[in-house]
Amino acid sequence: MSNMRYWSGKRMRYAFISDIHGNDVALEAVMEDIHDTECDKIIVLGDICFRGPAPKRCLDIVRDRADAVLKGNADEWVVRGVRSGEVPDDRLDMMNREGMWAREQLSEDDIAFLNSLPMTLDGSDHGTNWLAFHATPKDLFQVVLPDAGEIEIEERIIGTHPHDMFLYGHIHLPYARRVRDRTIVNLGSVGLPFDGVAEASYAVLDCTTARVDVDLRRVPYDIERAVTALSEAEYPNASYIAEVMRNGRP
């Protein structure tokens, strides 16, 4: 999976979104907010289809609207299944059932698209160099939490990368913090937030002012419509996913 690079010579506003998880109701609300916020580019950091009622609809929106798309661990799961050791043993069977259900909603071309996605996006705008990825630059599955120590962040995220800013998803917990002279940003989740706020989350990187600003945005959406869609689609783990949507917690 190769590295992608994006550079712009003019001032821009980027929307970074991640962890949609088949929740088209939340994704549509975020896309509307992105339009209202007048973002110039949309960058998706993975986990598009798995664990929600509308994998095909979400992937179609992403393929139509996004300017760059990266792979997440859940995209890898849709392609090849969940392996032992990647999730707790008591969840393995159900999560494979969910992954198979999602795969059945997609075309062969969709699966090939997910399989071909790169892991990182390297960008530069308005004097700021940034690196985007799903979990860490080298691993789709590693967990780096908001309160991780500086040594852990330096080892798992920054490494030898020269970038000023690092943006990622995966943990469903939005935050922005400085680690020495670097900025670390987690986008949270569009479809399944885990921070107790039952609203979609994404980040806007604003390169239109004298400095680069990060705006972590929350977008309310019709949760009960999404819950109803789970039931209507006969999603295999509907009751659990419905409670995560309603409570904003796993």
Q: Which two tokens stand for residue 28?
A: 């549509």
Res 154 pLDDT > 50: yes
- Tens digit of pLDDT for each residue in 165-210? 999 999 999 999 999 999 999 999 999 999 999 999 999 999 877 6
Q: Strand 120-125 to strand 3-8: parallel, antiparallel, or no bridges (unpaired)?
A: parallel
Res 6 pLDDT > 80: no
**Residue 11 near residue 37 (C-beta atoms within 8 A):** no
Q: Grade residue 1 by pLDDT with cuts at 50, 70 and 90.
A: very low
**100 backbone dihedrals φ, ψ, rounded to 5°:** -65, -40
Res 2 pLDDT > 50: no
Q: Grade residue 91 by pLDDT with cuts at 50, 70 and 90.
A: very high
User: Residue 31 carries which side chain, given as an amino acid letter?
Assistant: M
DSSP class of residue 221 equals -
User: Residue 188 carries which side chain, given as an amino acid letter?
Assistant: G
Of the chain, the percentage scoring pLDDT greater than 90 comes to 90
pLDDT of residue 29: 98
> How many angstroms separate the CA atoms of 13 and 39, rounded?
5
Average pLDDT, the chain: 95
Q: Which CATH superfamily is domain 3-247 in?
A: Metallo-dependent phosphatases (3.60.21.10)
Average pLDDT over residues 198-227: 93
DSSP string, 128-183: EEEEEESSBTTBSS----TT--HHHHIIIIITT---SEEEE-SS---EEEEETTEE
The DSSP H or E segment spanning 44 is strand 41-44
> How many angstroms separate the CA atoms of 141 and 78, rounded?
14
Q: Higher pLDDT residue, 128 or 48?
A: 48
Number of Cβ within a 10 Å radius of residue 232: 10
pLDDT of residue 222: 98
Taking the model in full, what pTM does it have?
Answer: 0.94
**Residue 155 near residue 142 (C-beta atoms within 8 A):** no
| Radius of gyration of the chain measured on its C-alpha atoms | 17
